Structure 1
Amino acid sequence: MCDTGVHGQHKLLNDIDHSQPGRKEKCDSPCASDKLIFNAENGHDNLEDQHGEPTVLNQRTFNVNGHFSSLKNRTLKLVAHNTGFHSVVPEALVLESKKSTEVVNLTVSCTATCLPFSSVLKEIPPASGFYPKEVTSPITHQPVGSFGVISCGSQDGDEETNERMLSAFSSFYQAKEKFKKELKIEGFLYSDLSVLASDIPYFPPEEEEENLEDGIHLVVCVHGLDGNSADLRLVKTFIELGLPGGKLDFLMSERNQTDTFADFDTMTDRLLDEIIQHIQLFNLSISRISFIGHSLGNVIIRSVLTRPRFRYYLNKLHTFLSLSGPHLGTLYNNSTLVSTGLWLMQKLKKSGSLLQLTFRDNTDLRKCFLYQLSQKTGLQYFKNVVLVASPQDRYVPFHSARIEMCKSALKDRHTGPVYAEMINNLLQPVVGAKDCTLIRHDVFHVLPNTANTLIGRAAHIAVLDSELFLEKFFLVAGLNYFK
Structure 2
Amino acid sequence: MKRSSSVISDSGIESEPSSVAWPVEAALRGRPPLDFSSEREIPQQIVLKHPVHRTPLDCQSKASKIPNSGLAFVNKKMVEVVNMSVSCAPTCLPFSSVLRDSPSISGMSTRQTTSPITHQPLGSFGIISSSSLSPLNMDEETNERMLNFYKAKEELFKELSFQASLYSDLPFLASDLPYFPPEEDDEEFDDGIHLVVCVHGLDGNSADLRLVKTFIELGLPGSRLDFLMSERNQADTFADFDAMTDRLLDEIIQHIQLYNLTIGRISFIGHSLGNVIIRSVLTRPRFRCYLPKLHTFLSLSGPHLGTLYNNSTLVSTGLWLMQKLKKSGSLLQLTFRDHVDPRKTFLYLLSQKPGLQFFKNVVLVASPQDRYVPFHSARIEMCKTALKDRTTGPVYTEMINNLLQPLVEAKECRLIRQNVFHALPNTANTLIGRAAHIAVLDSELFLEKFFLVAGLNYFK
What residue is the counterpart of 2:263 in the other structure?
A: 286
Identity score, percent: 85
Q: Which of 236, 246, 257 is 2:213 aligned to?
A: 236
CA distance in 2 between partners of 1:378 and 1:160 (Å): 65
Instruction: Give, in angstroms, the shift of residue 414 of structure 1.
Output: 1.1
Q: Which of 170, 179, 183 is 1:208 aligned to?
A: 183
CA distance in 2 between partners of 1:161 and 1:362 (Å): 78
Deviations 1:394-437 (A, max 9, x none): 00000000000011111111111110000000000001101000
Q: Which of 312, 331, 339 is 1:335 aligned to?
A: 312
Change in 2 beyond 3 A, CA 1:365/1:156: same
Contact preservation (8 Å) 1:207, 1:245: no
Query: What letter matches 1:258 in structure 2?
Result: A
What residue is the counterpart of 2:420 in the other structure?
A: 443
Q: How many positions carry a matched residue from both structures?
A: 291
Instruction: Give, in angstroms, the shift of residue 472 of structure 1.
Output: 1.0
Secondary structure of 1:251 counterpart: strand
What residue is the counterpart of 1:256 in the other structure?
A: 233
Change in 2 beyond 3 A, CA 1:210/1:323: farther
Secondary structure of 2:231 counterpart: coil
CA distance in 2 between partners of 1:289 and 1:207 (Å): 28
* Mapping of residues 13-412 of structure 1, within 5 Å: 156=157, 160-161=161-162, 208-209=183-184, 211=186, 212-412=189-389
Q: Which of 464, 467, 474 is 2:441 aligned to?
A: 464
Deviations 1:88-127 (A, max 9, x none): xxxxxxxxxxxxxxxxxxxxxxxxxxxxxxxxxxxxxxxx
Query: What letter matches 2:275 in structure 1?
Result: N
Structure 2 portions without partners, runs of 5+: 1-152, 165-178
Structure 1 portions without partners, runs of 5+: 1-152, 164-203
Query: What letter matches 1:348 in structure 2?
Result: L
Deviations 1:248-272 (A, max 9, x none): 0000000000000000000000000
CA distance in 1 between partners of 2:329 and 2:318 (Å): 15
Secondary structure of 2:194 counterpart: strand
Secondary structure of 2:457 counterpart: helix
CA distance in 1 between partners of 2:225 and 2:264 (Å): 10
Deviations 1:76-99 (A, max 9, x none): xxxxxxxxxxxxxxxxxxxxxxxx
CA distance in 2 between partners of 1:205 and 1:445 (Å): 40
CA distance in 1 between partners of 2:183 and 2:294 (Å): 27
Structure 1 runs, 4 residues or longer, greater than 3 Å off: 157-163, 204-207
What RMSD over aligned residues (CA atoms) do the two structures have, in Å?
1.8
> What TM-score do you get using the length of structure 2 for normalisation?
0.61
Instruction: Give, in angstroms, the shift of residue 208 of structure 1.
Output: 2.6
Instruction: Give, in angstroms, the shift of residue 210 of structure 1.
Output: 6.0
CA distance in 2 between partners of 1:393 and 1:206 (Å): 46
1:475 and 2:452 matched = yes
Secondary structure of 1:355 counterpart: helix
Query: What letter matches 2:157 in structure 1?
Result: D
Instruction: Give, in angstroms, the shift of residue 162 of structure 1.
Output: 5.9
Instruction: Give, in angstroms, the shift of residue 214 of structure 1.
Output: 2.9
Change in 2 beyond 3 A, CA 1:382/1:160: same
CA distance in 2 between partners of 1:349 and 1:210 (Å): 52
More strand by share: 1
CA distance in 1 between partners of 2:278 and 2:412 (Å): 20
Instruction: Give, in angstroms, the shift of residue 245 of structure 1.
Output: 1.9
Secondary structure of 2:205 counterpart: coil
Query: What letter matches 1:409 in structure 2?
Result: A
Structure with the bigger RCO (C-alpha within 8 Å, sep 6+) is 1
Instruction: Give, in angstroms, the shift of residue 158 of structure 1.
Output: 5.9
Change in 2 beyond 3 A, CA 1:428/1:160: same
What residue is the counterpart of 1:55 in the other structure?
A: none
Change in 2 beyond 3 A, CA 1:429/1:336: same
1:427 and 2:404 matched = yes
Change in 2 beyond 3 A, CA 1:335/1:160: same
Deviations 1:14-44 (A, max 9, x none): xxxxxxxxxxxxxxxxxxxxxxxxxxxxxxx
CA distance in 1 between partners of 2:409 and 2:206 (Å): 34
Query: What letter matches 1:449 in structure 2?
Result: N
Change in 2 beyond 3 A, CA 1:462/1:207: farther
Secondary structure of 1:315 counterpart: helix
CA distance in 1 between partners of 2:157 and 2:297 (Å): 55
Structure whose CA Rg is larger: 2
